[in-house]
Amino acid sequence: MKRELSLDELFKLRQHGNHALVDVRSPKEYAEGTMPGAINIPIFDNEERAEVGTIYKQEGQQAAMKRGLEIFSAKLPEYVDEFRSLDRPFTVFCWRGGMRSKTAATMTDLMGLRASRLIGGIRTYRQWVVSELEKAEFHPPLIVLNGYTGGGKTAILHRLEKDGFPVMDLEGMAGHRGSIFGAIGMEPSNQKKFDALLVGAMKKYEDAPYVIIEGESRRIGKAVLPEFFDRKKNEGLHLFLRLPIEERVQNILNDYDTEAYPDQFLEAFSIIERRIHTPIAKEIRDHLESNRFPEAFRLLLEYYYDPRYEHSAGLDENDEQQIFIDADNMEDAYRKVRQHIQRIGRKLAAGEAAAGQDKI
Active site residue 94: yes
**CA dist., res. 317 & res. 96, Å (int):** 53
Give bridge partners of residue 223 from the DSSP assignment: 220
Distance from chain centroid for Cα 104: 28
Nearest residue to 149 via CA among 9, 307, 315, 301: 301
Contacts of 27 (CB under 8 A, 6+ apart): 40, 42, 45, 46
Helix (H) or strand (E) holding 239: strand 237-242
Angle value at C-alpha 211, between 207 and 212, nearest 5 degrees: 165
DSSP3 helix / strand / coil % (the chain, rounded to 5): 55, 10, 30
Burial class (CB in 10 A: 0-12, 13-18, 19+), 82: middle
Set 10, 94, 105, 198: catalytic member: 94
Helix (H, G, I), strand (E, B) or coil at 343: helix
Supply the residues annotated as catalytic: 94
